[in-house]
Amino acid sequence: MDTESESPVCCGSGCTNCILDQENRKRKIPSNFDGPNVLSTGHYHQFRCTHIEPVTNSTYLMRFQFVASEETTQEVKLLIPPGSHLMLRVERNWRNTPRPVNELFSKWCVETSRADAHQARVHRQVRPTIEKYDKTERDLYFSRPYTPIVVNQTERSFDVLIKFETGGEMSQYLLTSNVGDVQEWKGVYTGFCWTRNLFSHLIGFVQGVGLAPVYSIMKSILQDEEDYTRLCLCSCFSDISGIILRDDLYSMTKFWNFESKIYLSRESCTCDDESRRTCSCLSSRKKYNEQIFNHRLESIDVENLLQKFAPNSFQVLICGTEAFVAFIETCISKLNVSNWYKF
């Protein structure tokens, strides 16, 4: 599955008639996720925040549960295929109502307040301006995509990872959110559909919160007793304290067909030989057989991993920043890898 063609991009204005809605109608939802769904691609629905939990210094897990109406029956489920995403929208005038910052996020606010204000200005400037798809709809909202990592069909709830960005409009709003608040979500948007045992190996290269879609896909494969695909997830973070879902990744290695490799680009090192790619500094901080490397993921790492597999026996999944995705694309193109998908 070669994905060199560009996917449509949402303008982030929270339009009811979104270009993603039009594109999504052309895509096939897996048959096991076809049925009465509380979500529809044409409308926003209310979900109540029921849980907030810190994951790293800047990343939080938030749980949202469907707010049922009198017309909603128990037969209607929350069906979200692994790897797909939802859109969260917020009114642009939300600041008109006093909303204090949640104390749970106060530590992040203190740390970011020490950062250079220039970085915040740069962050706001780099966001590209995307032409609206529906020019007839008033610009009353802004929206952002998030990928559920856990879906509870019984409770009709889902968990998402939220990374706060300095100067980010949605981040500023979510800093004021609390358990009990009701938000508007729309979906489901999906471009990748996994077929059981389609390849003998599935390899993921992810960076930061880009872990979410690949994690959810691999988690679902591990829960499928008839899927024997071997999985390898290469995750990239800045330091050991910034590793997202570290305990979950470690517990997944108990499965015979899952392997986790974690690369740290900025972890402090006290080794005498700085040129070494293997470092003993993390030995006391790693769990038994936990594969954490004190260096950034490099092309040699990608090549050594993928060259172990027979051609066309594996598929590669990629998710991260544009620079990270471009780096992985360059690596796999040199190896003539044709089966890959980027989120």
Tell me the per-residue pLDDT of 6-58, one tens digit each, with 9 for 90 and over: 567 777 777 777 767 666 655 666 666 767 888 876 789 999 999 999 999 99
Residue 118 has a pLDDT of: 45
Residue owning tokens 């007839």: 136
Please tell me the number of Cα atoms within 13 Å of 204 on its side-chain side.
Answer: 30
Average pLDDT over residues 306-318: 95
Residue 167 has a pLDDT of: 86
| Distance in angstroms between the alpha carbons of the first and the last residue of the chain | 13
Buried b (16+ CB within 10 A) or exposed e, 69-107: eeeeeeebbbbbbbbbbbbbbbeeeeeeeeeeebeebee
Which pLDDT band, with edges at 50, 70 and 90, does 122 fall under? very low
Q: What is the DSSP letter of 135?
A: T
Comparing 221 with 8, the larger pLDDT belongs to 221
pTM over 0.85: yes
**What's the one-letter identity of residue 151?**
V
Question: Rounded distance, CA 298 to CA 331, Å?
Answer: 9
* 19-189 shares its CATH topology with 201-342: no
Residue 143 has a pLDDT of: 94
Cβ–Cβ under 8 Å, residues 144 and 88: yes
Comparing 269 with 237, the larger pLDDT belongs to 237
Length of the chain in residues, anyone?
A: 343
Question: Rounded distance, CA 227 to CA 243, Å?
Answer: 28
Which pLDDT band, with edges at 50, 70 and 90, does 5 fall under? very low
Report residue 317: phi and psi, to 5°.
-115, 140
Q: Which of 125-134, 219-228, 230-239 has the lowest mean pLDDT?
A: 125-134
Average pLDDT over residues 194-204: 96
- Closest to 230 measured CA to CA, from 123, 309, 311, 142: 309
Residue 73 has a pLDDT of: 72
Q: Which of 126-140, 177-191, 195-209 has the lowest mean pLDDT?
A: 126-140
Residue 119 has pLDDT above 60, yes or no: no
- Enumerate the domain spans of the chain: 19-189, 201-342
Residue 254 has a pLDDT of: 97
Residue 22 has a pLDDT of: 67
In this structure, whether the domain defined by 201-342 belongs to CATH 3.40.50.80 is answered with yes
Q: What is the DSSP letter of 254?
A: T
Residue 321 has a pLDDT of: 95
Coil, strand or helix at 286 = coil
Contacts of 33 (CB under 8 A, 6+ apart): 79, 80, 81
Residue 308 has pLDDT above 70, yes or no: yes
Residue 116 has a pLDDT of: 46
Average pLDDT over residues 237-241: 94
Coil, strand or helix at 326 = helix
| Long-range contacts, stretch 330-338, CB < 8 angstroms, 24+ apart | 330/299, 331/299, 331/302, 331/303, 331/306, 332/302, 332/306, 334/299, 334/303, 335/303, 335/306, 335/307, 336/311, 337/306, 338/2, 338/312
Cβ–Cβ under 8 Å, residues 162 and 146: yes
Edge to edge, what strands does the sheet with 258-264 contain?
292-293, 258-264, 230-237, 201-207, 314-319, 340-342
Rg (CA), the chain: 21
Residue 184 has pLDDT above 70, yes or no: yes
Question: Rounded distance, CA 343 to CA 209, Å?
Answer: 12
Residue 152 has pLDDT above 90, yes or no: yes
Encode pLDDT of 247-305 as tens digits: 999 999 999 999 999 999 988 776 655 555 666 677 778 999 999 999 999 999 999 99
Q: Which of 101-105, 118-122, 223-227 has the lowest mean pLDDT?
A: 118-122
Residue 160 has a pLDDT of: 98
Please tell me the number of Cα atoms within 13 Å of 146 on its side-chain side.
Answer: 27
Residue 12 has a pLDDT of: 78
Residue 212 has a pLDDT of: 98
Report residue 150: phi and psi, to 5°.
-140, 135
Instruction: Tell me which fold the domain 19-189 belongs to.
Output: Elongation Factor Tu (Ef-tu); domain 3 (2.40.30)
Cβ–Cβ under 8 Å, residues 269 and 295: no
Residue 68 has a pLDDT of: 86
Average pLDDT over residues 133-138: 69
Residue 90 has a pLDDT of: 96
Report residue 86: phi and psi, to 5°.
-120, 165
Share of the chain above pLDDT 70, in %: 84
